[in-house]
Amino acid sequence: MRKAVLVILVILAMIAGAGAEEIKGDWKFPSDIAVSQGKLYVVDGLNNRVAVYDLYGQHLSDIRIDSPLGICSYNGILYVTSQKGKLYVIDGSSVKEIPLRGRPIDVVRIGDKLFVTDGKTESIDVYSLDGTFIKSIGGKGTIPGKFTGIFMADASKDGVFVVDSINAKIQEFSSKGKFIKAFGKFGIEEGNLFRPKGVAYCGNGTVAVSDGITGAVQLFNTYGGFLKLLAKGLNYPTALACYQGKLYVLEPLAKRILILRVQGVK
């Protein structure tokens, strides 16, 4: 009888795990995530790898990269920044290295251009796909279009959203690099931003923002209007990724990715 009960408990645990809204791994302070084509990519810089999982958390493989930091996926191609001042372009078994300026943090591909956040110059550096430097956008400052604490980025509907952490703003630029708008009211209450870290465009006119200090993940419309508190009290949430109505939230200190549902939010 006791064995039967144990078997039932194990089965229930397996069922619960299959539907669990979190994924855990043996990472050392992971820095970024991407979700594409049914796979989850976790940038595990201190282990010099991008760890690849299915969406149930099953580890599939590792992509070995020296000191990776930021990642984006575009039509199955991975773009990974390295703290060694490089960009790795991974297309299947093909790996290409591109030298970058400054201190690259995150990367977003918009059409035929790459937008790289640069922590040294507090700018967005724009490159062609072959790695040719085109121009820098922004620079250090507190006015709209400038940055203090530039960090993660994500593609918007027509351009790119960029985290301006110390200024407590999310800034949007067009695909041509033109400043569009910024939003964010400094504070710790719902709808405020204190130290934003991650940003993800979730479609349907919504954008999610994580706050590393308050532990909140909030949903805004693309004009900055507060819509909903998705989570609070998290352990230093940073990178975000939206995929098929779900928001993946990286908590590096907890070594987990929390999965929140955002589908249907208007």
- pLDDT above 50: residue 131: yes
Give residue-wise pLDDT tens across range 178-209.
999 999 999 999 999 999 999 999 999 999 99
Can you tell me the mean pLDDT for 45-71?
Answer: 97
- Strand 246-251, strand 169-174: pairing: unpaired
Give residue-wise pLDDT tens across range 227-255.
999 999 999 999 999 999 999 999 999 99
Which residue(s) pair with 183 in the sheet? 170
Q: What share of residues in the chain are helix, strand, coil (percent, to 5)? A: 10, 55, 35
Q: Considering only CA atoms, which of 27, 23, 28 is closest in space to residue 40?
A: 23
Q: Considering only CA atoms, which of 219, 212, 214, 222 is closest in space to residue 245?
A: 219
Rounded Cα distance between 72 and 203, Å, is 17
